[in-house]
Amino acid sequence: MTPPHPLDTFRYCPRCGSAQFEVYDLRAKRCAACGFTFYANAATSTVAVIINRRGEILATRRAFEPAKGTLDLPGGFVDPGETAHEGVVREVREELGVRARAGELLFSLPNAYPYSGHTVHTCDLFFRVHIDEDAALRAHDDASETLWIPLHEVRPELFGLTSIRLGVEKILRMF
């Protein structure tokens, strides 16, 4: 079975509104009326890998779909005009209410993130992130709960998003 085109849900040209918005190649559509070509490039997303001195990883519980109620790692989309380091620090502040310092980029994984009936293709960047471990964490924004989980007790299958689950498996091999 052939997967749908990444712009399958886009039926009209975003420039002129024409219905002649047709598949151009594997990741683009072109408007036959005005010539506008739109590419489905991957969005940048960040993931915070926060491990404390006791060997526990900081996880959150997802407050919203997709995968509502499953485990996650803090993070999210990088905003326009923001670096990936700035984005992961902002996401930690928004979701956990604490200041963070982004460290090294550990690895990246591709992802297909379902949102509003559309698949957003992302490149998820997993950063080692440092926080004050004594700071009071508060779940907010996309997180409904925060949990420190000993690395030896982490169960990747409880993480609802595919790229996060694969990332957690990779983290467990690294640490």
According to the model, what pLDDT value does residue 2 have? 73
pTM strictly above 0.75:
yes
pLDDT along the chain (175 residues), means of 10: 85 97 96 97 97 97 96 97 98 97 97 87 97 93 96 98 97 96
According to the model, what pLDDT value does residue 129 have? 98
According to the model, what pLDDT value does residue 74 have? 98
Q: Where are the alpha helices (DSSP H) in 65-108?
A: 84-96
Dist. CA 109–CA 123, nearest whole Å:
6
According to the model, what pLDDT value does residue 4 have? 82
Q: Could you tell me the domains of the chain?
A: 1-40 (no CATH), 43-174 (3.90.79.10)
145 is catalytic: yes
Identify the active-site residue in 145, 153, 157, 169: 145
According to the model, what pLDDT value does residue 137 have? 96
Sequence-distant (6+) residues with CB within 8 A of 150 are: 54, 55, 56
Sequence-distant (6+) residues with CB within 8 A of 68 are: 62, 160
According to the model, what pLDDT value does residue 117 have? 84
According to the model, what pLDDT value does residue 133 have? 86
According to the model, what pLDDT value does residue 105 have? 98
According to the model, what pLDDT value does residue 142 have? 93
